[in-house]
Amino acid sequence: MAKAKRNVNGEGTIYQRKDGRWEGIAYVLATDGTYKRRSVYGRTWEDAHDKLTRLKANSHSGLPIAASKMTLSEYLTYWLTHVAKVKVRKTTYVNYESWVRNYIAPGLGKKKLGRLSARDIRAFLLKTAQTCQCCAQGKDKKRPKAKQRCCALGKCCQKTPSDRTVRILLALLRTALQHAVREDEIPRNVAKNVELGMGTMREIEPLTAAEGRQLLAAARGNRLWAAYELAVRLGLRRGELLGLRWEDVDLDKGVLTVRQTLQRVGGELVIVPPKTQKSARRIPLPPECVTALRAQGTQQLTDKRLAGDKWRDDGSGLIFTTKYGTPIEPRNLNRSFAALTSRAGVRKVRFHDLRHTCASLLHEQGASARTIMQVLGHSSIRVTMDIYTFVRLDEQRDAIGRLGDALSGDDEPDDS
C-alpha cells in the first residue's frame, strides 16, 4: 500500500482508502455560511490533490458548496409540493409531476443535489432522447396480455421522446434548480450551462383557403359544426372551444370572450383559467360563426328534449356538450375531427393545425402580426411570427417574381 502524503497545513488531508482510491478532505464554505467538511476522490494522489485544490480555490474565492445532502429526486419532490403546486396552473403541475416521475427521477434522481453537474444533465438528456420510453416505463407490460403488442413481446416500438420533450425536461430542471439556488441549497444552477442542438421541429403545413372551405362545407350538419367554424376562423384552442359557455358569446353584437378552458387533469375533466393572461380575450364573431352558433343552440335544445331524464345539466352552460349535456372529452373531439377530414377529402392534419391555418390565412389576407397575435391570444408576437405564420411556396414564388421584375426593369439612369 502506498504511503500517504502529507499536505501543507490548511490544504486539507489526502490519504489512500482501503479500496485503493485516494480521498482528499477539507473544510470549505457552504451555502448556509458555515464551513463544512467535504471529500473528493481520485485514482491517484495527484488526481485527488488537483480536485482538492480546486475545491479550496472555489471556497477562497467565495463560491460555496451545496449545504444540502438531498438527492435530486428528494429535492424535486419538495419543489413540486411546496413551490410548483402553488405557483403554476393545475394542468402545468400535473405535467411537471409526470415528467419528474417518468423521466428525471428514474434517470437522474439518485444523484446528490450538491454534486449534480452539467455533464450529468447533458448525459441524461442524451440517453433519454435515445431510449424507447415504452420499454423504459413498461407501458406495454401494463396493458392486458391480450392487448400487448410491442415491448412486452420483445418487439421494441422505438418510441423515443420528441425533441420538444427533451427540451421541456431541461427547462424544468433549470427552473427547479434556480429555486434551489435562491434557497441557498446549491451555489449555482448547473442546468444553465447545458445547451442542446437545434433539433428538428415538426413540419407544419396548414390547410389552404380552398381546403378550409372544403372542410367547413363537409362540417355542415355535423354536431360540432360550430366548433370547426370557430377553430378555422378564429383559431381557438381545443380547450377554449370545449370550455366556451353561452354567456361568453353575444350573438347580437357578434362578440366572443375567452374566459376559461376545459382540460383533463389528473383523470378528470375540469374547468381552468386560460393558458396565459393574453389568452383571455375578446374576438369579433364573423357572420358564419354566428349562424353556426345559432344552429348549435337549436341542436342543444333538441338534445335536451330527446334526452329527457338522462340530461345532465350541471349549470355550467357549456356550448359544446354530448347529447346528454355532459362536457365533451377533448380526445373525442380529435377523433371526430379525424373522421371529418376523411369525409371532406382533405389532408390529414391535427385539430391544433386549424389554429395554424387561421393564423396563416389571416397573414395571407394582409393582417398585421399584432392583429394575429391578439386574435390567437399569444403572450408574445415572436410566437405568432415564428410558429403560426406559414409562408406558402406560391407566396414565396410571387415575392421572388416581383423582385425579379424590379431587377430586370428597363429603366436606365439618365447620363445627360
Higher per-residue pLDDT: 348 or 389: 348
Average pLDDT, the chain: 86
SS (H, E, C) the chain: CCCCCCCCCCCCEEEECCCCCEEEEEEEEECCCCEEEEEEEECCHHHHHHHHHHHHHHHHCCCCECCCCCEHHHHHHHHHHHHHHHHCCHHHHHHHHHHHHHHHHHHHCCCEHHHCCHHHHHHHHHHHHCCCHHHHCCCCCCCCHHHCCCHHHCCCCCCCCCHHHHHHHHHHHHHHHHHHHHCCCCCCCHHHHCCCCCCCCCCCCCCCHHHHHHHHHHHCCCCCHHHHHHHHHHCCCHHHHHCCEHHHEECCCCEEEECCEEEEECCEEEEECCCCHHHCEEEECCHHHHHHHHHHHHHHHHHHHHHHHHCCCCCCCECCECCCCCECCHHHHHHHHHHHHHHHCCCCCCCCHHHHHHHHHHHHCCCCHHHHHHHHCCCCHHHHHHHHCCCCHHHHHHHHHHHHHHHCCCCCCCCC
State whether 266 and 368 are in the same domain.
yes
Residues 224 and 341 placed together within one structural domain of the fold: yes
The answer to the question of residue 172 being in a domain is: yes
Q: Is there a single domain that holds both residue 376 and residue 243?
A: yes
* 79 and 54 housed in the same domain: no
Domain total for the chain? 3
- For the four alpha carbons of 228, 232, 233 and 234, in that order, the dihedral sign comes to positive
Residue 309 lies in a domain: yes
Contacts from 380-389 at CB under 8 Å and sequence distance 24+? Answer: 384/359, 387/356, 388/355, 388/356, 388/359, 388/360, 389/359, 389/360, 389/363
243 and 140 fall within a common domain: no
Q: Are residues 262 and 370 in the same domain?
A: yes
For residue 392, what pLDDT is reported? 61
Give the pLDDT of residue 60: 81
Residue 148 sits in which domain range?
Answer: 72-193
Query: Between the ranges 50-59, 268-277, 285-294, where is the mean pLDDT highest?
Result: 285-294
Residue 265 reports pLDDT greater than 60: yes
Q: Does the residue 402 lie in any domain?
A: no
Kindly state the average pLDDT of the residues 356-367.
Answer: 88
**Is residue 235 situated within a structural domain?**
yes
For the stretch 19-73, pLDDT in tens is 888 988 888 877 666 787 888 888 899 988 988 888 888 778 776 666 567 899 9
50 and 125 co-located in one domain:
no
- The reply to whether 215 falls in a domain is yes
Determine the Cα–Cα distance for residues 106 and 138; give it in Å rounded to an integer: 12
Q: How many CB atoms lie within 10 A of CB 319?
A: 20
What pLDDT was estimated at residue 9?
46
Pick from 26-40, 183-197, 298-312, 395-409: least confident? 395-409
pLDDT at position 285 is 95
Q: What is the pTM of this model?
A: 0.68
**Cross-strand partners of 36:** 28
User: pLDDT tens for residues 311-331?
Assistant: 987 878 999 999 999 999 999
Q: Are 107 and 71 in contact (CB under 8 A)?
A: no
Q: What is the pLDDT of residues 402-412, one digit of tens each?
A: 767 776 765 55
Q: What is the pLDDT of residue 250?
A: 96
Q: Are both 244 and 330 inside the same structural domain?
A: yes
Q: Say whether both 185 and 332 belong to one domain.
A: no
Q: Tell me: pLDDT of 371 over 50.
A: yes
Rounded distance between C-alpha atoms, residue 212 and residue 241, angstroms: 18
Note whether 259 and 123 are same-domain residues.
no
Looking at the fold, whether 50 and 138 belong to one and the same domain comes out as no
Does residue 296 or residue 114 have the better pLDDT? 296
Q: Which residues of 170-184 are buried (b: 16+ CB within 10 A; e: fewer)?
A: bebbbbbbebbbeee
Average the pLDDT over 154-163 and give the result: 83
In a domain, 404, yes or no: no
168 pLDDT higher than 50: yes
The CATH number that applies at residue 371 is 1.10.443.10
Alpha-carbon separation of residue 166 from 104, 119, 121, 231 (angstroms): 11, 15, 11, 29
Whether residue 326 sits in one domain with residue 249:
yes
* 256 grid coordinates: 366572443
Domain for residue 66, yes or no? no
Residue 1 above 70 pLDDT? no
Q: Is the pLDDT of residue 227 over 60?
A: yes
Asked if residue 370 belongs to a domain, the reply is yes
Rounded distance, CA 248 to CA 271, Å? Answer: 14
* Position with higher pLDDT, 189 vs 266: 189
- The pLDDT score that the predictor gives to residue 38 is 80
